[in-house]
Chain A
Amino acid sequence: MVLYYYIAALILSMAALFIKKQSVTKIIMTVFLLVQLLFTLHIMQNSGKTELTYFTFDALGTIFLIVLTMISIAVVYHGFRYFSDRSPERFFYYHSALIGLIASITGAYFANDVTAVWVLVEATTLTGSVLIYHKKTTTALEAAWKYIFLCSTGIAIAYLGILFLSMTMTGLGIQDLSFESISKVAAHANPLYLKIAFLFVLVGYSTKMELFPMHTVGIDANTEAPSPIGGLISTGLVNLGFISIFRVYISLSGTTIFDWMNHIFIIVGVFSLVVAAGYELKVRYSARMLAYSSLENTGLVAIAIGVGGIGYYAAILLLVLHTLVKSSLFFQTGQMYRILNTHMVDESGNYMKIYPAGGLVFLIGLICIAAIPPSGLFVAEFLIFKSLVSSGHWFVLILSLFLLAFIIFAMSTRILKMVFSRPQRFGDEDFIKLHPVETLSQFIFLSIVIFICFYQPQFLVDLINQSIAGLPK
């Protein structure tokens, strides 16, 4: 099925590129979404199965594939709306690259080998850069250049990590780099090599996870990419970065470097929060504000992994819910741009009056992303803080809460300014009228996030528990 999925994705991507008719491209994208949906169902029904040697349908990949498929539908829809008042010149490149990006992320979620993950992550750089440069402006070029340059450097660094892993594995008689093989013999490997390998992999893939120290790549990309793509990069691709690092972490969790890896995660997480808090206070661009919020959330995820215990569960739950909230907010900034023609916080305002449905999304989205009840993120963050208390990480807890207060303050003031304040740049012009139905996807996603605050479906709980089953309790 993996093979058929990729053949279908390739054909549809090529068709979108070469059949330059908007109506046909829309049909192509609809067909692709159907293929994506069928593939997701196939994986859910074939849990644990391995296909084409390199793809194993495990619980961790399945969780993230389900949310990826959900947001992909919205990404495609908002992409169509994005082009409704723009030149169709880049329409075909955009959709061709979008299919490539979603397919690459999907495959990487299930890759069971370090090198297979790496190849697919590399493919996301190629397709992602096409989408980031989509607007063809000077700033888009700058973002694309930085994205390619830093991602390539990051991927080269991650590859060095893989080479270090291979160096120590060949000595132990292992001839492949599957996560299963690594975890079998890692306990007998040279710990120094394992530490170097893990550090390189963490730094390299932090370009995708939007985690300190290579977070800047994602921040610039989210800022410049069209908002539906920003919604995909800051969620689906972030989850991919997480999976790439987390699988290596699980494989090495039975070794003597386990505690050391946890310390590294906590350090990286705290630094991510520090950077996010600092920049969130001075940011003036709505998409950039959301990008720094992603850095905050990935920082919390890193801390949760570092602390362990219930933190593992909380980390995955946080990422799942973050995907739904953050994509909704990105889609909304895109709609705001269509109406107000600006992304700048200072220039926008009165959004609740101009487009009430959008204003409401911003308000609910703020409550959700700030993890204020009834947001599902509240449950996830509460569990993270609980694990910090139970493991005695009081300093990390206090510092995290202190930094989160700054981030929530910064985001609240900016979003409330956009929604309620009097705009500086324009008066009572006639704005483009959007139908509230265009905001339906955001309401659905945010409703799910609120629903999960009160009730977590058993299949979700089971999937998360299966994902972390291999980790020490």
Chain B
Amino acid sequence: MVAQALLEVRNLVKVFKSGMMGREIVAVDRVSFNIEEGEILSLLGESGSGKTTIARMILRLLKPTSGDILYKGRNIWKLKGRELIEYYRQVQGVFQDPYSSFNPIHKVDRPLLQALKNLQGIEGSEALKIIRETLRKVGLNPDEVLGKYPHQLSGGQLQRVSIARALLVNPKLLVVDEPVSMLDASTRIDVLNIFADLRDNEGVSILMIGHDISLSYYISDRIIILYKGSIMEEGETDAVLGSPLHPYTKMLIESIPRIEEKWGRKSRIRLDVDQKPTAMSGCKFLDRCPHAFNMCTRKPNLIRKDNRKIACWLYKNNYNQDIA
């Protein structure tokens, strides 16, 4: 028996229409990947890469235009009633903005109590006990946050409450969308450490959406680099970020400001003319790529190359091989 991935994304496509007869924007373009049990996988991309759209589709908040998302082999868009509740008991999410993750008119207790009541059927003093335990687990003092309104807490505290909400039901998979990008640098790393501990101690799988390469490097087992809705490069963290092959990954890494060294005199970064993702026949990185050649007007497939997968014509030795 072949080991089944925890979550499989197959040929996922999302097209947004703007206006009634407006033009179509392809936000996610035939994306496939797996999330294995007990791993931290990072989807890295800049704005317009489709990373957040993918997260929302996995969380069943946005319907794909086509393609499937299978959780433990079952299509999540076919789940109904009890099965859907069971899905959210196993798959939970955390969003980027801690302030809009809480309804300003309710105390922060409410979403926590709601999650336990609706997903686990636990209420009353038992619920409160679990909530207090979970808040402590994410580094909060329950007495400092319970009974408070969102505007009485800091962004860092709110984000931890939001993480606690997701953890209340002991999920198997956590989808976290830019969970620390709105937090101050000095508190970011502690939140990331919570995720790392979850993976190590409880075997939780985590899909982290992000744009900060150093943060993803710090925490992830595997990395997927997205650009304009397509996967450019995918593999183990050390391989993809340590010795990148795709010209886009290389440009990304070249652009990171580092505190250990200053940039060289002049970069070769070409800026995008139009950042909106559109359906194109060729490689999406074509107009910014320093190595582009005639082959690149055709869309490269994601092929296996050594220890990673890559979609680039520079590595075309596996010419006829489709997605490995």
The yes or no verdict on A and B being binding partners is no
Enumerate chain B interface residues (CB-CB to A < 8 A). Answer: none
